[in-house]
Amino acid sequence: MVLSSGSPIPAIRIGYGEDAHRLAAGHSLILGGVAIPDAALGTVAHSDGDAVLHAVADALLSGLALGDIGDYFPDTDPLWAGLDSRAIVGRVLELVRERGYAPSNIAVVVTLDRPKLGPLRSQIARSVAELLCLPESEVGVSFKTSEGLAPAHVQTRATALLTRIAD
């Protein structure tokens, strides 16, 4: 199979996504589909504010030049208020598969000062992996602090490797 340009359809494609949310008291903190216990601050967002899943979804979309989640779930649409971000990933996975690709592995970096997330690494990786129908071993999750530079802020970055599964 070739593209209209005459180039072969790529067997693998790389995607990259980011997200950031302000943190405030009285909001929940959900990362990768996991509700973080004992978080003093949570994300201020239109949806459930899951910055890990937003970055992962954007990474998948960008790998196929399909825009970003705001194109599919505008934050001006009341329909998406409080949206469970697992639904965003589910829809994005459908779009990826419709184009003949599937995610092979994902790497996520979360920059957050508190709480310490290391003890939840496996739970978050497993949750993201389940959403993408991947083994846990294919989802890498790293945590960083901002060294106190952004204590009321969560920042996420994700890369996705997409592999062609159909012509």
Ligand X SMILES: Nc1ccn([C@@H]2O[C@H](COP(=O)(O)O)[C@@H](O)[C@H]2O)c(=O)n1
Binding site residue list for a divalent metal cation: 19, 21, 54
* Residue 22, token pair as written in the block: 């302000």
Asked if 122 and 103 touch (Cβ cutoff 8 Å), the reply is no
What string marks each residue from 88 to 127 as x (binds ligand X by CB under 6 A) or -? ------------------------x---xxx---------
The CA distance from 126 to 113, in Å, is 22
| Residue 69 binds ligand CDI (CB under 6 A) | yes
Which residue, 8 or 118, is less far from ligand X as judged by CB? 118
| Residue 19 binds ligand CDI (CB under 6 A) | yes
Burial class from Cβ neighbours inside 10 Å (0-12, 13-18, 19+) for residue 51 reads buried
Which residue, 56 or 83, is less far from ligand CDI as judged by CB? 83
Among 144, 151, 152, 165, contact with ligand X (rule: CB under 6 A): 144
Helix, strand and coil content of the chain, in percent to the nearest 5, comes to 30, 30, 40
The CA distance from 96 to 100, in Å, is 7
Which residue, 97 or 153, is less far from ligand X as judged by CB? 153
| Residue 90 binds ligand CDI (CB under 6 A) | no
Query: Under the rule (CB under 6 A), what is the footprint of ligand X?
Result: 112, 116-118, 143-145
